[in-house]
Amino acid sequence: MEPAGARESSYDVIIIGGALAGAASAILLLREQPKLRVLIIEKSTQFSRRVGEATVELSAYFIGRVLGLMQHLNEAHITKQGFRFWFANERTKQLDDCSEIGGRYLSRVPAFQVDRAVLDEEVLRKARLLGAALWRPAAVQKVDLQSGGQQTVTVRHDERTEIVAARWVIDASGVAALLARQNGWWRPNTAHPTAAVWSRWRGVKDFDGWELAEKFPEWATACYGIRGTATNHLMGDGWWAWIIPLKGGD
């Protein structure tokens, strides 16, 4: 995504990964030092759909106030009404039998239910507006680290292999853990084996709708705030699941 004639072979900072962590790093660097030459290397052509994700109040402050994306959060995502937890046992037969933990009124400090693909694209767009160069799609093949010297990154981009150098390299590759795997630092957590799955659904029941309120009137009136836009956790024996609503109905 960089014009062929404008390419450089040396930068001040190379960022591997253009999603939230990588693009936010570029934004903060370029705000502090606008003349920095920053290159973001992103492997995808566009960010794919992934699990729904919620901020907490502190991360919402960072994204909204520090990165300056509050308008985007309000327009493209859902204001989150805190956490809610639902507990059941063998005596639980229906919704209003469950024990519920959650706020009775609306949250005062904003957090958000975010569609990560949408958010990541916006943060990356902001980074480019500030002057970050972007190679996309591009695959990092190797990173040679030199303590106190120039770092070199071998990249496959535009059907050719290139070597670019920088004083600093930021690994924002997420679960790919590029530097950790390349250098043998990555270790599986065998002491705490877990498994998880996720899916997206439409047409789910509305926690705050008339159907449930009519069926469970006492349960409905126990909360003056909004249940549906909270992160609702269903708790079981040895498992838990969460329900996160996203803009557009997912």
Mean pLDDT is lowest, of 118-122, 123-127, 128-132, 241-245, for 241-245
For 98, the token pair is 């469950």
Do 91 and 123 sit in the same domain of this protein? Answer: no
Paired strand residues for 139: 156
Q: How far is the C-alpha of 100 from the C-alpha of 25, rounded, in Å?
A: 39
- Strand ranges across the sheet with 99-102: 99-102, 83-87, 231-236, 239-243
Confidence check: pLDDT of 5 > 50: no
Do 125 and 106 sit in the same domain of this protein? Answer: no
Q: How far is the C-alpha of 92 from the C-alpha of 80, rounded, in Å?
A: 27
Supply the pLDDT for residue 8.
61
CA dist list (Å): 83 to 7, 86, 100: 47, 10, 11
**Residue 139 belongs to domain with CATH number:** 3.50.50.60
**Which of left, alpha, beta for 82 (phi over 0: left; psi -120 to 50: alpha)?**
left
Q: How far is the C-alpha of 26 from the C-alpha of 32, rounded, in Å?
A: 10
Judge whether 210 and 90 are in contact, CB under 8 Å. no
Average pLDDT over residues 23-28: 98
7 pLDDT band (50/70/90 cuts)? low
At residue 6, φ and ψ (nearest 5 deg) are: -100, 5
pLDDT tens, residue by residue, 156-184:
998 999 999 999 999 999 989 999 999 99
Domain boundary among 159, 182, 205: 182
Do 166 and 207 sit in the same domain of this protein? Answer: no
Residue 55 in domain: no
Residue 215 in domain: yes
Peptide bond into 217 cis (omega under 30): no
Average pLDDT over residues 46-68: 91
Do 160 and 202 sit in the same domain of this protein? Answer: no
Average pLDDT over residues 96-116: 91
Average pLDDT over residues 227-240: 91
Domain boundary among 158, 182, 206: 182
pLDDT tens, residue by residue, 187-230:
988 898 888 888 888 888 899 999 999 999 999 999 999 999 99
249 pLDDT band (50/70/90 cuts)? confident
Mean pLDDT is lowest, of 26-40, 82-96, 152-166, for 82-96
Residue 75 in domain: no
Q: How far is the C-alpha of 220 from the C-alpha of 213, rounded, in Å?
A: 5
Q: How far is the C-alpha of 114 from the C-alpha of 76, rounded, in Å?
A: 8
- Its domain, for residue 105, covers 81-110+197-243
Average pLDDT over residues 6-20: 87
Supply the pLDDT for residue 122.
98
At residue 187, φ and ψ (nearest 5 deg) are: -135, 135
For residue 161, the one-letter residue type is T
Confidence check: pLDDT of 186 > 60: yes
Do 106 and 122 sit in the same domain of this protein? Answer: no
Supply the pLDDT for residue 194.
86
Instruction: Give the count of domains, the chain.
Output: 2
Residue 250 in domain: no
Residue 177 in domain: yes
